[in-house]
């Protein structure tokens, strides 16, 4: 069994969906598994030039690959079924490709009502926090217990380990949210309620030694949605927000913007053990032609894109790992 992992190094919305989609096109995966989160996530994917926004469903469906919502996820059944319908309506055969791990937990309507009361964190109000709370309080409801999900339910253990083709299993793990929102490593309490690091993929039932590549995904600037103050003082951020369409894919809220924070990126790259890093949205900074980042408290301003790329690559190679392959992307569909 072999697994690649796609993990977000910032606050979500770095383009994991795009990377996962591109990797599915290039590799022969047998499974794509979502390993954390619920319908708080919004993955924007361009497939053959057409835009799709998914919340629960992994991107394997676009390529005929078995796509599993793993045990670390929480599922809102109505949203899940609506998403299946919407994909089917676009000619994507989601119904026959998507499975839900029986031991994933449900987001109930009660969880949603509870989450709507949040004023402190700025959650997506999709019921995630209350669902995970009840899971860990051992009073949650599992996917296997919902009759509407029955046609989709699989047992993760038998799917992977009692599989005749065990030796040929190649998994792509697709994460949700990001390092800065991780319940342990993020800026608590301004975090989500699940684990957003590579460790979370392992928790979904594969041995650590099966992991081959860890694809860390970042943006060349940072965005965050939620209640804390995040946006920097630069007026250019207003322009970047419009050009980069930095509005939540799930809630439509404007994302707060700031320059890339190298220290956080370094921490996320180390803790996730990345072997690749993709910096997305280079095209947006090209448009404003402004190349800045924070190194500790200092704001660096580079003259050109090339200067910034060289500085970032050099420093990541020296301070994290010289073998990391670093890519800069400005395309919506391709790396
Ligand atoms: P929750 O996950 O809905 O509980 O929200 C907790 C925090 O995570 C809030 O700041 C949300 O805006 C943020 N968040 C949750 N999911 C995503 C996502 O997919 N992208 C970006 N931010 C997210
Ligand atoms: Mg998103």
160-212 pLDDT tens trace: 999 999 999 999 999 999 999 999 999 999 999 999 999 999 999 999 999 99
- Residue 253 CA from chain centroid, whole number: 18
CB 165 within 8 A of CB 42: no
Residue 148 Cα to ligand 2 middle (Å): 27
Residue 33 Cα to ligand 1 middle (Å): 20
User: Does the annotation count 13 as an active-site position?
Assistant: yes
Catalytic residue of the set 43, 55, 56, 105: 43
- Residue 67 is predicted with a pLDDT of 98
The residues facing 37 across adjacent strands are 73
Pocket of ligand 1 (CB under 6 A): 11-13, 40-42, 121-124, 126, 128-129, 176-177, 181, 190, 192-193, 225-226
24-35 pLDDT tens trace: 999 999 999 999
Q: Which ligand is nearest to the CA of 53?
A: 2
Determine the atom of ligand 1 nearest the C-alpha atom of 128: 4
215-229 pLDDT tens trace: 999 999 999 999 999
Residue 280 has pLDDT above 90, yes or no: yes
Question: Which residues make Cβ contacts (< 8 Å) with residue 69, sequence separation at least 6?
Answer: 33, 34, 56, 57, 58, 75, 80, 98, 99, 100, 101, 104, 143
Residue 165 Cα to ligand 2 middle (Å): 33
What would the mean pLDDT of 276-297 be, rounded to a whole number? 98
Residue 69 has pLDDT above 90, yes or no: yes
Q: Is the pTM of this model over 0.95?
A: yes
- Residue 225 is predicted with a pLDDT of 97
Annotate 79-102 with DSSP letters as a single string: HHHHHHHHHHHTT--HHHHEEEET
Mean of all residue pLDDT scores within the chain: 97
Give, as one character, the DSSP assignment of residue 145.
Answer: G
Residue whose Cα lies nearest atom 20 of ligand 1: it is 12
What would the mean pLDDT of 307-330 be, rounded to a whole number? 98
- Residue 249 is predicted with a pLDDT of 86
For the beta carbon of residue 165, count every other beta carbon within 10 angstroms: 8
User: Does the annotation count 4 as an active-site position?
Assistant: no
- Residue 3 is predicted with a pLDDT of 98
């Amino acid at each position: 069994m072999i697994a690649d992992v796609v993990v977000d190094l910032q606050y979500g919305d770095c383009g994991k969906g795009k990377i996962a989609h591109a990797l599915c096109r290039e590799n022969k995966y047998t499974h794509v598994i979502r390993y954390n989160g619920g319908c708080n996530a919004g993955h924007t994917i361009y497939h053959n030039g057409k835009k799709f926004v998914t919340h629960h469903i992994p991107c394997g469906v676009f390529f005929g690959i078995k796509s599993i919502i793993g045990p670390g996820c929480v599922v809102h059944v109505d949203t899940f079924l609506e998403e299946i319908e919407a994909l089917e309506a676009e000619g994507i055969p989601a119904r026959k490709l998507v499975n839900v791990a029986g031991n994933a937990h449900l987001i109930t309507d009660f969880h949603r009502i509870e989450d709507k009361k949040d004023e402190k964190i700025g959650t997506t109000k999709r019921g995630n926090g209350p669902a995970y709370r009840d899971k860990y309080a051992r009073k949650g409801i599992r996917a296997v217990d919902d009759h509407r999900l029955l046609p989709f339910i699989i047992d993760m253990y038998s799917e992977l380990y009692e599989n005749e083709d065990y030796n040929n299993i190649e998994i792509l793990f697709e994460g949700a949210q990001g390092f800065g929102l991780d319940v342990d490593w993020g800026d608590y309490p301004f975090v989500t309620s699940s684990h957003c690091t590579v460790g979370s993929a392992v928790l979904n039932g594969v041995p650590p030694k099966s992991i081959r590549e860890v694809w860390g995904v970042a943006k060349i600037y940072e965005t965050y949605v939620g209640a804390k103050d995040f946006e920097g003082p630069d007026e250019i951020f207003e322009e970047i927000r419009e050009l980069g369409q930095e509005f939540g894919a799930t809630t439509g809220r404007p994302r707060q913007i700031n320059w890339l924070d190298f220290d956080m990126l370094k921490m996320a790259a180390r803790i996730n053990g990345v072997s690749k890093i993709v910096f997305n949205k280079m095209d947006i900074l090209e448009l404003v032609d402004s190349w800045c980042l924070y190194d500790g408290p200092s704001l660096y301003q580079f003259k050109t894109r090339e200067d910034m790329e060289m500085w970032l690559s050099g420093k990541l190679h020296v301070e994290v790992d010289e073998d990391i392959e670093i890519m800069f992307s400005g395309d919506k569909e391709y790396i």
